[in-house]
Amino acid sequence: MTALATFEPLAWLLATGYIVLGAACAVLLARRGHPQGVALGALACWPLFLPLLATHGEPAGAGPMRARIAAAVAALHEAIAEPGVEHFHLPDDLAGLVSDLYRADARLGVVDRMLASVSPSSAPGVVHSTALLGRARAAAAAQIEAVLDGVVQLRLQIGLRALAGNSVPVRERLRDLRGRLAAIDELEAMDLHG
Amino acid sequence: MIAASGQMSLLQLTVRVLRSPSSLLDGDRVPLAALLPGLLALVGLAGGLFGVVIGSYRGGIQHLFAAIKLPVVLMLPLLVALPAIRALYLAGGVALRYDRLAFAAMVGVARASLLAAAMGPALWLLYSVNLDYHRAVMTMCAALCVAGAIGLGTMASLLPGGGRLRVCAHLASLVVAGVVFAQGGWLLRPFLVRPRAEISFVRPIEADVFSSVGAAWRSSRGDYRGWEAESVPLWDRERGLQTEPEPEPEPAPQRGEDRR
C-alpha cells in the first residue's frame, strides 16, 4: 500500500517561499550571463549560489587567456581591498575594460579552434591564409599580454599610493589600456587576402 | 559523457573530488560557477544510488522515494545552516568568505555522497540476507556516519587556515549541521520501511528526532513507553496535545522484525 504525502499549510508556505526565491535567484543569474546549469541549480539550491549574484558570467567560448585575465582582475580587486587604500574606488571603466579583455580572448579562442581544425595542406592559398591568420593571432595575443601587464602596473601604482600617498591617474591608465584593446578590433578588419 | 562544467566531465570531477579536492581551487579563487552544477549533479546521482540501496530493504516504490529523498537530506544542512556556520567561523577568528564556505561544504557533501554510494553494494548484500529491521537501520546510520565524517574532514581541509578558536568553530559547526541533518532526516522519513508497514513518501509531522532518540534510549533499558509519538502541529501545540492517537494493533512480526 502506498499513502499519499500530506503536508501542513506552513510547509506549503515555506516551500512556496523557497521556490519563489529560487526562481528570482535563477532569473538574476541568467541575466548576468551565467550558464543555464548555474541558473537551474540555483532554482533548487539558491542559498549556495548567492555569492554568484555579485559576479558576471564568463562569456561563452572563452579563450586561452581567460584564467590569466581572471587572476589579474582578481588581484587588482584584492589590491583595492588592502588596508591603506580602502577609500580608493575603481572607476566603472574597469568593468568595460574587463569585458573587452574577455571578448578579445574569446576571439583568440575562435582563431585557435579554426587553426586547429584546418587540416595540413600544401595548397598555396591555404598556406598563405593560415600564415596570415597565425600572424594576426600573435598580434592580438601580444596586445592582450600588454594590457595584462598594464593591469599589473596599475596594481603596483595603487600599492605606491598606499605607501607614499601619491595620486594615481587610474582613469588615464584605463583609457590607455582600452586603446590597446581597440587595436585588436583594427586587426579584425585586416583583409586576410591583403 | 555528461559535461559537469565547461571543461570537466562528471567523471573527471568525481576523480578530483575523491583524489584531490583541493586541486579544484584556482589559487585563492573559487570557481563556484564552473563547479557547483557538477557537484550538485554528483550529490544527486550518488545520493540517489545510496537511496535506491536503502529503499531496496522494503522494495517497490520505496526504491524511488528513498532515491529522491536521500540527496535532499544530504543537501539540507548546506541549504539551511550555511550562514550560521559562516557566522561561527567568523566568531572563531577564521576569515571565511561565503563563496569559499559554499565550495568547501559542497565538495564535502559530494565526497560523502560518493563514499556512501561506494558502500551501497555491501549494504545491498546485507539487506538481501534477511537482516533485522533495527540492525538494518543501524547499518544505514553507520554507513552515513563514516561517509559524513570523511565529508566533514574534507570540508574542514578546504577552509582557509588561521583563527584562534578554529577548533571550537569546527565543533560548533558539526553540532549545527548534525542537528539539521538529523531533524531533516526525521522529517523526510521513512527511508527503510518495515516489511509490513504502509509505504508513504513522508509521514505526518510528529514530535522530533530528539524525542525519538529518547524513546530509543529508554527502550534499550527495557522501558517501552513513548514509542507512539503524539501528533504535534507546528503552530498549534495545544491542539496537537488534545488529539491523542488511537493505539494501533501491533503487526505480526515478519522478515526478522523485532518480536518485542
Report which listed range, A112-121, B134-143, B234-243, is most confident: B134-143
Residue A25 has pLDDT above 90, yes or no: yes
Greater confidence (B167 vs B207) lies with: B167
* Domain total of chain B: 2
Q: Which of A89-93, B17-21, B146-150, B151-155 has the lowest mean pLDDT?
A: A89-93
- Do the Cβ atoms of B105 and B35 come closer than 8 Å? no
> Which residue would you say has higher pLDDT here, B236 or B71?
B71
Chain A neighbors of B82, CB-CB under 8 A: 47-48
Distance CA A139, CA B84 (A): 51
Burial A13-31 (b: 16+ CB within 10 A, else e): eeeeeeeeebeebbebbbe
Please tell me the least confidently modeled range out of A113-117, A174-178, B147-151: A174-178
User: Do B106 and B217 belong to one domain?
Assistant: no
In a domain, B1, yes or no: no
For residue B240, pLDDT over 50 is answered with no
> Quick one: closest CA in A to B197, which residue?
A1
**Across B172-181, average pLDDT:** 91
Q: What is the pTM of this model?
A: 0.65
Q: Whole-angstrom Cα distance, residue A95 to residue A103?
A: 12
What's the pLDDT band for B171 if we cut at 50, 70, 90? very high
**Residues with Cβ within 8 Å of residue A18, at least 6 apart in sequence:** A46
Question: Quick check: is B196 in a domain?
Answer: no
Q: Which three three-digit cell numbers place residue A22?
A: 529560487
One domain, residues B119 and B182: yes
**Mean pLDDT for chain B overall:** 81
Q: How far apart are CA B24 and CA A96, in angstroms?
A: 29
Same domain, residue pair B128 and B37: yes
pLDDT of residue B103: 92
Contact A2 B198 (CB under 8 A): yes
Calculate the alpha carbon distances from B9 to B29, B183, B217 in Å.
21, 34, 46
How many whole angstroms separate alpha carbon A60 and alpha carbon A106?
8
How far is the alpha carbon of B114 from chain A, nearest alpha carbon, in Å? 19
Task: Kindly tell me if the per-residue pLDDT of B14 is higher than 70.
Answer: yes
Tell me which of A190 and A109 has the higher pLDDT: A109
- Span A117-126, mean pLDDT? 76
Q: Is the peptide bond before A51 cis (omega within 30 degrees of 0)?
A: no
How would residue A170 be classed by pLDDT, with cut points 50, 70 and 90?
low
> What count of other Cβ atoms lies within 10 Å of the Cβ of residue A34?
23
Considering the domain architecture, whether residues B107 and B26 belong to the same structural domain is answered as yes
Nearest to B153 by CA among B108, B113, B90, B87: B108
Rounded Cα–Cα distance for residues A78 and A38 (Å): 25
Q: Which of A100, A95, A193 is nearest to A140 (CA)?
A: A100
Tell whether the model's pLDDT for residue A158 goes beyond 60.
yes
Query: What is the Cα–Cα distance from B171 to A15, expressed in whole angstroms?
Result: 30
ipTM over 0.95: no
The three cell numbers of residue B67 are 532515491
Same domain, B232 and B176: no
Number of Cβ pairs < 8 A linking chain A and chain B: 78
| Residue B5 counted as domain residue | no
Please check the confidence at residue B108 and state whether its pLDDT lies above 90: yes
Residue B226 sits in which domain range? 209-242
Q: Averaged over A159-176, what is the pLDDT?
A: 68
B108 and B215 together in one domain:
no
pLDDT, position A77? 74
Q: Which of B82, B97, B234 comes nearest A8 by C-beta?
A: B234
- Domain edges within chain A: 9-54, 66-188
Distance CA A56, CA A66 (A): 14
pLDDT tens-digit series, residues A37-77 = 889 999 889 999 988 887 766 655 667 888 788 788 777 77
Q: Which of A136-140, B111-115, B187-191, B220-224 has the lowest mean pLDDT?
A: B220-224
Instruction: Classify B205 as helix, strand or coil.
Output: coil
When pLDDT is averaged across residues B65-83 and rounded to a whole number, the result is: 92
Mutual orientation of helices B98-127 and B133-157 as an angle, nearest 10°?
150
Instruction: Give A98's pLDDT tier (boundaries 50, 70, 90).
Output: confident
Per CB-CB distance under 8 Å, the chain A contacts of B201 are 3-5
- Cα separation of B156 and B150, whole Å? 10
B193 in a structural domain: no
Cα separation of the two ends of chain B: 51
- Torsion region of A83: left, alpha or beta (phi above 0 gives left; psi -120 to 50 gives alpha): beta
Average pLDDT over residues A10-24: 90
pLDDT at B124 exceeding the cut of 70: yes
Residue-wise DSSP of A32-50: TT--HHHHHHHHHHHHHHG
Question: How confident is residue B118, by pLDDT bands cut at 50, 70 and 90?
Answer: very high
Q: What residue has cell string 509490513?
A: B196
Q: Are residues B73 and B20 in the same domain?
A: yes
CA nearest neighbour of A143 among A173, A178, A181? A181
Q: Are B99 and B155 part of one and the same domain? A: yes
Q: Residue A134 — left, alpha, or beta (φ > 0 → left; ψ -120 to 50 → alpha)?
A: alpha
| Beta-carbon separation of B6 and A62 below 8 A | yes
Query: Are B117 and B180 in a shared domain?
Result: yes
**H/E element, A3:** strand A2-3
**Does A41 contact B102 at a Cβ distance shorter than 8 Å?**
no
Cβ within 8 Å, pair B200-A5: yes
Residues 6+ apart with CB under 8 A from A31: none
* Range B179-190 average pLDDT: 87
How much of chain A, in percent, has pLDDT values that exceed 70? Answer: 72
Residue of A7, A40, A45, A68 to mutate, interface with B, max B Cβ within 10 Å: A45
Residues B144, B63 share a domain: yes
- Please tell me which of the candidates A8, A10, A37 has its beta carbon nearest to residue B37: A37
Is B257 part of a structural domain of the chain?
A: no
Q: What is the pLDDT of residues B79-91, one digit of tens each?
A: 999 999 999 999 9
Together in a domain, B20 and B134 = yes
A40 contacts in B (CB within 8 Å)? 37
Residues 6+ apart with CB under 8 A from A193: A129
Min Cα distance B28 → chain A (Å) is: 9
Specify if B76 maps to a domain: yes
- Tell me what the mean pLDDT of segment B174-196 comes to: 87
Do residues B142 and B176 share a domain?
yes
Per-residue pLDDT, B104: 93
Cross-chain residue pair B37–A34, CB shorter than 8 Å: no
H helices present in chain B, as ranges? 10-19, 32-55, 62-91, 98-127, 133-157, 166-187, 209-220, 237-242
Q: Which three three-digit cell numbers place residue A193?
A: 587576402
pLDDT at B68: 93
Mean pLDDT lowest for which of A59-63, B29-33, B126-130? A59-63
Q: Tell me which residue of B181, B99, B171, B172 sits closest to B147, measured CA to CA.
A: B181
